[in-house]
Structure 1
Amino acid sequence: MSRIRRVYIGGAALLRGEMGRALARTFIARAIAALGALALLLVVGRLFGPTGVGVFALAQSLLIGAGILARTGMDNALMRYVGQDHDSPHVLMYLRWAVSRSLLISLLMVVVLWSSRGLFEEVFGADGLSAVLVGMALAVPAYTFGFLLSGFFKGVRMPATACLLENGSVALVAGAFVLLWEGINEGGQTGVIGYAYGLAAWLVALQGTLQVWLWCRRQSWWSSADEVAPAEVTLTQFRASSRAFFAVNLAGFMQQVLGVLVAGWLLSSDELGLFKSSQQVGLLIAFILIVINAIFPPRFAAMHHQGNMPALERLARQGAFLAVVLASPMLLVCLAVPEWVLGWFGEGFSEAAPLLRIIALAQLVNVATGSVGFLLSMTGHEVLMRNIALVCNALGLLAFFVLIPPLGELGAALGLAFVLVVQNLVAMCFVWKRLGIWTLPGPNPLELMGKRSAAKS
């Protein structure tokens, strides 16, 4: 049986049994989250136009940046160590380690955003940004805590619950609050977006806390008086791993935060709104990969920990194949009728059609390469993935500075596409070199040319 046929059969097998149920539940949860993020932008776009979307994009990027700095990689460290032995009574200790450190930093982030909101508005020339940042600053601790809980639930094999504790669910609730407020007070100011986001973040975090308590009550060790053996992982190891993950997350910081801030500095609020709307729609193509990345990484860590490399390779390839199949319909829509898709945001957004086509093709590469970043991070190659991500995103920021002045928002789309394509292709090659796994569906051209993986030599 050919390798391609085995991957096809394996991909179909993923849709059955326990893994299939997990994928289905997570797909629904991620759909809610993805539609929530899109829905909030649609609400902001229809109420405040491209300028409002641009202001919101700047405020949200500052919140995302504060959250990344506050978590210091603890969410991924939780996913890794909890995922290695999710039945252990020590999982709550890992969560306590993460929360105690991250929430202290998040309080500092609140002070920074609150006190600097006027400066940010002046630097970016974005009227209304200061008002939005008031509510966004108050959201930082809850936003940080939600991501920590998400990492914990991914580790205990509850990816659907994890998905509902991240950006999308907060955005969905916030969008409902904005609509409610605008229905009562017609012609409101953009500042309501920040307050709505802050309130939504706290509600989602409280719901996550309740979920943790309910999960703990179902565990055999919750009410047991038996003596617990010492944990395999020390606080020093946990923090060392979190620092490695944090370094990887700095690449995300560069893309999701610095990239948007650089674009906001070089573009007008209208132009930034066009770029942000096309970027958000493009994420719908990578939606299924986000679902897979919520389920597979703890399993990657467990299989590698057990030395079961054949199973790890099968799972990685099957996930990439499934992602390409399920992402294809949205990809075709974005390439064929981008003006219609962007028309959902209201008048003036159809101008971003060329941007959406470029980002859609880049997201295809992102999806087709599969979970290469997590394959490296969950198998002890965090430092390598950090270096790949940092170098590629640094080049992407440089591309923003080079391409945006002459090309405007089109240059921003090209810079983003560059990062998505180069980072994933480089990571894919290193996954082959270090682990002997080729994630792209189809034959491995390196193997056909006689190149051997270090893992298989």
Structure 2
Amino acid sequence: MLLKLFYVFVIRTFGAVAGFVMSLAVANTTDVDSAGAFFFALALTQLGGGLLTLGSANVLVKVVGADFGVSWSRINQTVSSLIKTIFVLAALLLAISLTLPSQIACLLGMAELSELMPFIAFCMFCFALKQMFAAMLQGKQQAILASAVQNVIAQLSFITMLGVLVFLDFNQTGDSLFYIYFACVGSAMMFGAVLWFRTKGTSFDIKATLSPELKSSLSSLFVAMLMSQCAMWAGQFATAKYLSSSDVAFFASSQRTATLASFVLIAVNLVVAPKFAKAFAKGNSREVNKLSLLSSRLMIALAVPVLAFMVFFPEFLMGLFGEEYKVAAPLLQVLAVGQFINVITGSVGYLLNMTGHEKDMRNVVLFSGPLAIVLAFGLTSQFGLMGAAYATAISVATQNLLAVWMVKKRLGFNTLNIFRKVA
């Protein structure tokens, strides 16, 4: 497992760096207001695309992880019914965005995005499918390919295309930057689709429907995802509502820099999540505990140095985006503390979702999600950018610490205790 984890870590590192460079490229090739508009469109795409998956990523990892190499029937039924459902939802979303683009943009506090709204809706669909195909590949334990589809191809393509356009002396706006991103997400989605449907045994059943078991699981997972997404993006939405486009750029760039460290969490989870599901399915609670302990130690060892650099040298990092971005250095420090708690708590979300405790994770985020919204809009309206940063950090910390408590209650071990012995 360690060798595989090393390869995944390398490609996730590459993906995280590519994502960071993508943000740097945007900040350094356009003005602050245009960068803010693009970053908000990006956040909207990732929020909407994430919600369009209905929380199915965890279901797909679990189903494919449990049945791959054993039976294709349940896998194909699950995949086909989910793709059909998401296509219908995406079509409805596109119709609404075509009918009411200006109203939606004004409601979000970013009127300049009105012309982009239909493209954002379509990009959400591509983003959702990209995430789903990555989850399917993860379930097959093809973690390297899953990482590439999920977090490398789109970013690397974006940097390459933007670099070519800058070399050819094309000026960039928030709209043009998003069109580039749209094309890159579509490419990553198509690559994931080819990888999945070329696998022997896969098929698409147009008549497939969501099973009662799948509906029940998705109901909990969707609520959990909705609230988790609120905790992640509420700060940016509050900033767009109460502050300026340039403030959105400052907050988004600092948040994306802070989450750079979380690539360690994602990389480890890509490997251990299917193993959690398999070990739990076999009733091997000792193996679940052992995997959790190993993953927590790796996360802390790899992420803490990165986060420490953010806390002690924030002006240097934010200065990479441009001289005007240095004002966001205090935001980076606050957000890095939130990410530190996210890392040291370990794979608590996956532990609960992969071991049949989706409802417990749902209950955790039912508290932390609304808290994130209240804090984000309340603190941002009163304290500006620092309020948004504190709200985001508090929400992330609260969600993860509550999940630690729930893991202790259900599975019997404390993920924060990296010195525990597995009996």
Q: Which amino acid aligns with 2:310?
A: C
Conserved in 1, the CA contact under 8 Å of 2:50 and 2:127? no
Aligned to 1:370: 346
Which amino acid in 1 is paired with 2:26?
V
Kindly report which structure 2 residues correspond to 1:113-152, keeping only aligned pairs within 5 A, or say none: 113-126=97-110, 128-152=112-136
Distance change >3 Å, CA 267–CA 169, structure 1 → 2: farther
Given that residues 128 and 191 in structure 1 are in contact (C-alpha distance below 8 angstroms), is that contact kept between their aligned partners in structure 2? no
Q: Does 1:80 align with 2:62?
A: yes
Q: Distance in 1 between matches of 2:43 and 2:54?
A: 17
Relative to structure 1, the CA distance from residue 124 to residue 434 in structure 2 (aligned partners, 3 Å threshold; closer, same or farther) is closer
CA drift of 1:313 comes to 0.4
- Is the contact made by 2:379 and 2:388 (CA closer than 8 Å) also made in structure 1? yes
TM-aligned CA distance change 1:305 to 1:264, over 3 Å: same
Tell me if 1:54 matches 2:30.
no
1:89 equivalent to 2:65? Answer no
Letter in 1 for 2:354: M
Mapped to 1, the partners of 2:234 and 2:315 lie a distance apart of 28
1:164 is aligned to 2:148: yes
Going from structure 1 to structure 2, the CA distance change for 1:272 and 1:435 (only over 3 Å counts) comes to same
Alignment partners' CA distance in 1, 2:334 and 2:356: 34
Q: Residues 38-58 of structure 1: CA distance to partner in whole angstroms, max 9, x if unpaired?
A: 222111111223323321222
Is the Cα–Cα contact under 8 Å of residues 349 and 361 in structure 2 kept in the other structure? Answer: yes
Runs of 4+ in 1 over 4 A off after TM superposition: none
Please report the TM-score for the alignment, with normalisation by the length of structure 1: 0.85
Structure 1 residue 280, shift from structure 2 partner = 0.6
The 1:398/1:315 distance shift into structure 2, 3 A limit, reads same
Counterpart CA distance in 2 for 1:290 and 1:326 is: 12
Residue 99 in structure 1 maps to residue 76 in structure 2: no
Which one has a bigger Cα radius of gyration? 1
Separation in structure 1 between the aligned mates of residue 92 and residue 12 of structure 2, nearest angstrom = 30
What is the Cα deviation at residue 397 of structure 1? 1.4
CA distance 1:53–1:387, change in 2 (3 Å): farther
Q: Write the distance in 2 (CA, Å) between the matches of 1:78 and 1:200.
A: 24
User: Quick one: structure 1 residues 442 and 205, their matched pair in 2 at CA, closer, same or farther if it must change by over 3 Å?
Assistant: closer
Once residues 246 and 327 of structure 1 are traced to their aligned partners in structure 2, the CA distance between those partners, rounded to angstroms, is 28
Counterpart code for 1:178: L
Deviation string 1:286-308 (CA, Å, 9 cap, x unpaired) is 22111112121111111111110
Letter in 2 for 1:89: W
CA 188–368 in structure 1, closer or farther in 2 if over 3 Å, else same: closer
- Which of 66, 69, 73 is the equivalent residue of 2:48? 66
Report the counterpart of residue 355 of structure 1 in structure 2. Answer: 331
Does residue 112 (structure 1) correspond to residue 96 (structure 2)? The answer is: yes
Partners of 1:52 and 1:65 in 2: CA distance: 20
**Post-superposition CA distance 1:390-409 (Å, at most 9, x none):** 21121121111221123211
Residue 186 of structure 2: aligned partner: 202
Task: State the Cα distance separating 1:167 from its structure 2 match.
Answer: 5.0
SS at match of 1:284: helix
Q: Is the 8 A contact 1:303 1:311 kept in 2?
A: yes
Structure 2 length as normaliser, TM-score? 0.91
State how far apart, in whole Å, the 2-side matches of 1:200 and 1:111 are. Answer: 23
Give me the whole-angstrom Cα distance separating, in 1, the residues matched to 2:268 and 2:188.
22
Give the superposition deviation at 1:310. 0.8
Cα deviation per residue 1:257-296 (whole Å; 9 max; x = unaligned)? Answer: 4442222101211112111111111111222111112121
**Contact 1:51–1:270, Cα closer than 8 Å, also in 2:** yes
Alpha-carbon spacing, 1:66–1:26, altered in 2? closer, same or farther (3 Å): same
* 2:416 maps to which of 429, 440, 447: 440
Deviation at 1:234, TM superposition (A): 8.2
1:269 maps to which residue? Answer: 245
Give the 5 Å matches for 1:204-353.
Answer: 204-214=188-198, 216-217=199-200, 235-353=211-329
Listed one character per residue, the Cα deviations across residues 59-117 of structure 1 (whole Å, up to 9, x for unaligned) are: 12221232133211222211111112221323233221221211221222223334443
Residues 50 and 83 (structure 1 numbering): CA distance in 2 closer, same or farther, change over 3 Å? Answer: same
Using a 3 Å threshold, how does the CA distance of structure 1 residues 199 and 314 change in structure 2: closer, same or farther? same
- 1:129-154 deviation digits (Å, cap 9, x = unpaired): 23444543332332221111111111
Residues paired across the two proteins, number: 415
Q: Matches of 2:290 and 2:272 in 1, distance apart?
A: 12
SS state at 1:440 partner: coil
- Please give the secondary structure, in 2, of the residue aligned with 1:45: helix
2:206 maps to what in 1?
none
Q: Which amino acid aligns with 1:64?
A: Q
SS state at 2:31 partner:
helix
1:153 aligns with 2:134: no
5+ residue gaps, structure 2, are 204-208
The answer to whether 1:25 aligns with 2:25 is no
2: distance between equivalents of 1:181 and 1:137?
25
Out of 152, 157, 173, which is 1:189 matched to?
173
Q: 1:128 to 1:28 in 2, by over 3 A?
A: farther
Q: Which moved more, 1:174-183 or 1:415-424?
A: 174-183
Shift of the 240–127 alpha-carbon distance from structure 1 to 2, 3 Å rule, reads: closer
User: Is 1:49–1:346's contact at 8 Å kept on the other side of the alignment?
Assistant: no
The aligned residue for residue 376 of structure 2 is 400
Do 2:319 and 2:325's aligned partners in 1 also have CA atoms closer than 8 Å?
Answer: yes
What is the RMSD of the two structures over their aligned residues, measured on CA atoms? Answer: 2.4
